[in-house]
Amino acid sequence: AGSVDVFWANTYRFELIDPLARGGSEGVSQDATLAPMPGLVKAVFVAPGDTVASGDRLAVLEAMKMEHTLRAGRDGVIGAVLVSPGAQVAAGDRIVELRETEA
C-alpha cells in the first residue's frame, strides 16, 4: 500500500502492507472466498449451483464484535459452500468456492 521513511541516526524504510489484500504472493485466487480473520459464521446466502456476480453477498462473518460481509470476487457459479451458520473459522479458511459459469 506504500512505504514510510523514518529518520533517526539512520534511515529505516518500512513497507506498508494491506492486511486484507487478496491474491498476490500467497497464491490465493478469486476461486475461493476466505475468512479474513477468525470468527463465527452468522449467515450463508448461497448454495452450490447458485450463479453470482462479482460483489454479491455470500456470507456474514462475526469477528471482533463486528459483522463482516464476504462478497464474491468474480462472476461465477457456487461450486461448494464449506461452512454453515454457527461454524467457527480461522483466518484463511475457505468459506465458498466458485467455478466458472457454464456458457
pLDDT tens digits, 46-94: 999 999 998 999 999 999 889 999 999 889 999 999 999 999 999 999 9
Instruction: Report whether 81 contacts 48 (CB < 8 A).
Output: yes
CA gap 96, 3 in Å, rounded: 33
Predicted pLDDT at 3: 62
Is the full-model pTM beyond 0.85? no
